[in-house]
Amino acid sequence: MSKIHVMSDNLANKIAAGEVVERIASVVKELVENSIDAGSSEINISLINSGLNSISIQDNGCGMSHEDALLAFKSHATSKINKEDDLFFINTLGFRGEALPSIASVSEIDLVTSEGDAGTHITIKGGKLVKEEDFHAKKGTRITVSNLFYNTPARLKFLKSEQTEVSHCVSFIEKLALSYPSIRFTLENNSNILVKTSGSGDLKKTIHEIYGLQISSKLIEIKASNDDYDIYGYICKPEILKSNRNYMITIVNGRVVKNLELNKAINDAYYTYKPDIKYPVVFLNILTDPTLIDVNIHPTKQDIKMSKLTDLYSLINNTIKDALYNNLLIPDATLRVSSNFKVDNKTLNDILNENNIKEDNDNKIELTDDHAINGQATFDFGKIEDNQEKYNDNVVINTQIKNLVLYPVGQVHGTYIIAQNDDGMYLIDQHAAQERVNYERIQKIFKEKKITTVESLIPITIELSKSDAIILKQHLEYLKSMGFLFEEFGINTFVVKEEPTWLTKGYEEETIREVVDQILIKGNNFDPLKYNDHICKTIACKMSIKANTRMTMEAMEELLQQLVLCDNPYNCCHGRPSIIKFSIYDLERMFKRVMN
């Protein structure tokens, strides 16, 4: 029986809009997905002049009979759907009844296909059959689409530059290769190979073949499941970051999808492991019962709707957070210091600069925190958002990092601590390190609602404009929940009678003023629940030792001990790195004590 059926008009109408052939990549997509559905293990795509002249796809799939080959170019033909019910159980890549006829109507097509014995050769121009003959060919299909849009100049104009069209094709084939590690893909343009995978069936190897060693050497495997979803894949250590979300690749039941919720689940898991405007590299396979997903919501079929999303969010988010927590993530210096190390063609400094990561360079600090407690108060500080949830309930303690002992050796430029242990040498950014320690400390205090207060020795007076005073007055309870007792003191003036003991000594006044500033900046839109974490970060930064400040050996030792006990000791709360490692081997190599 023929594999291709002609759909009823009714069914065709139900698959609304779908088949938009608007660029080279959409033609490549339709044709390659046909090859995949034909069970190919090898698919070669060659473009001439970025596909503007021709797009040729050769596969070793099951091929088509003479009858099917002709039927494929008739409207409403599809090998995917027979009954309307099937629409609800679509588990193949798509339902492209309209694609091939659409493409054929705006180009010249040359098709050679064979089921293994007799083959067929068909030529079509502008949708009209020009030639049809028996043809000897090995099993599989070769289809060449030339002069796309030759008869629709308006659409031809719509194509972007050659480079843009090619980059879309590359990006599509890369993602397809990741979805199908068992298929050997080659994509070339004017005989230059742009993508080549071995079809090994190994996802990690495929990632390596596409993205190279810089990414494949930094992967952490993840695997988990709940009642409805199985997830499997690789996440990258946070030292590899990208400027856009294109490297967060999600594959649902074998199909690469772009889904905001899935991206959010991934990105949230990296919270404070990276600056907010950078994105991680993640390859995530999600398997589920096809009835739980709806692929039919977007014409290009890249987005999808999923049921039980909250559970899936938790599964992805927690699995990635656990993986980050349970792995030692101190970046090696060799990558950082080599002159050609770049992320997205930017140096580390560029990245830090563009992230507006600024540090104050004033003021000094003593690393003591010995306020006498003479008052005790507990207040409800409200809920700390999910993605700041820490691992208090987690019985697994990452002993790798917790047991790391770092012995301080000295300080460089009043800014970096040099430390060592048996494995090598470490450089620690003292401000970033202490900011992390303070951040986790304050967050814990707020979360556990263990605020203790002390009477201010020298009460701080805060004078405000009339309008600011009104705003502040509305937030006195919030300030109280943090441990600050503000009292009105004359016109538009407040005095701080009590302050929390979590303040670092010597930093009381500037921390209080910072908290007030943060409330005033947001004005009446200040929402404590949403803003808690921001306040924690700001306070942590204010209370941490600045660059160009000398530290004693004891202070450095104490800071390093506190750092390794953090849930994430690798970054400050803004995602900037706090510690970098030079292994013994790295050092020996730099000084040519070893020669490779």
Distance, in Å, from the CA atom of 382 to the CA atom of 252, rounded to the nearest integer, reads 36
Q: Which is nearer to Zn ion, 282 or 541 (CB)?
A: 541
Closest distance to Zn ion from the beta carbon of 513 (Å): 16
Residue 178 or residue 572: which is nearer to Zn ion going by CB? Answer: 572
**Residue 46 or 434: which CB sits closer to Zn ion?**
434
CB 360 to Zn ion: min, Å: 7
Residue 460 in tokens: 């701080």
**Cβ contact 296:92 at 8 Å:** no
In the bound state with Zn ion, the residue whose beta carbon lies nearer, of 315 and 572, is 572
**Virtual torsion, Cα 280, 285, 289, 291, nearest 10 deg:** 50
Query: Distance (Å, rounded) from C-alpha 45 to C-alpha 160?
Result: 20
CB 289 within 8 A of CB 282: no
The least distance separating Zn ion from the CB of residue 429, rounded to whole angstroms, comes to 9
Q: How far is the CB of 388 from Zn ion (least distance, A)?
A: 15
How many other C-beta atoms are found inside a 10 Å radius of the C-beta of residue 508?
20
Q: Which is nearer to Zn ion, 519 or 541 (CB)?
A: 541
Contacts to Zn ion by CB under 5 A: 435, 541, 572, 574
**Minimum distance from residue 405 beta carbon to Zn ion (Å):** 25
| Cβ at position 415, least distance to Zn ion in Å | 12
- The nearest distance, CB 577 to Zn ion, in angstroms, is 10
Q: Which residues contact 86 (CB under 8 A, 6 or more apart)?
A: 80
- CA contacts within 13 A on the Cβ side of 69: 29
CB neighbourhood size of 122 (10 A): 23
CA 443 from chain centre, in angstroms, equals 25
Contact by Cβ (8 Å): 287, 253: yes
Relative to beta strand 493-500, strand 375-376 is unpaired
**3-state SS assignment for residue 587:** helix
- Assess contact for 177 and 197: CB atoms under 8 A: yes
Residue 399 CA to chain centroid, in angstroms?
A: 27
121/574 with CB nearer Zn ion: 574
Distance of closest approach, residue 272 Cβ to Zn ion, in angstroms: 9
Question: With respect to Zn ion, which residue has the nearer C-beta, 351 or 572?
Answer: 572
Cite the DSSP H helix spans in 106-202.
153-158, 162-179
Distances (CA, A) of 215 to 109, 160, 204, 322: 39, 30, 10, 20
- Nearer Cβ to Zn ion (320/539): 539
Largest alpha-carbon pair distance within the chain?
A: 99
Q: What is the rounded CA–CA span in Å between residue 474 and residue 522?
A: 12
Name the CA dihedral angle for 312, 317, 318, 323, rounded to a multiple of 10 degrees.
130
User: Among residues 431 and 581, whose Cβ is nearest to Zn ion?
Assistant: 431
Min CB(542)–Zn ion separation in Å: 8
Distances (CA, A) of 285 to 182, 249, 252, 261: 14, 8, 6, 15
Helix (H, G, I), strand (E, B) or coil at 107: coil
Q: How many residues does the chain have?
A: 596
Nearer to Zn ion, 240 or 433 (CB): 433
**Are 453 and 377 in contact, with CB atoms under 8 Å apart?**
yes
Nearer to Zn ion, 5 or 542 (CB): 542
Min separation Cβ 492 and Zn ion, Å: 31
Residue 435 CB, shortest distance to Zn ion, in Å, is 5
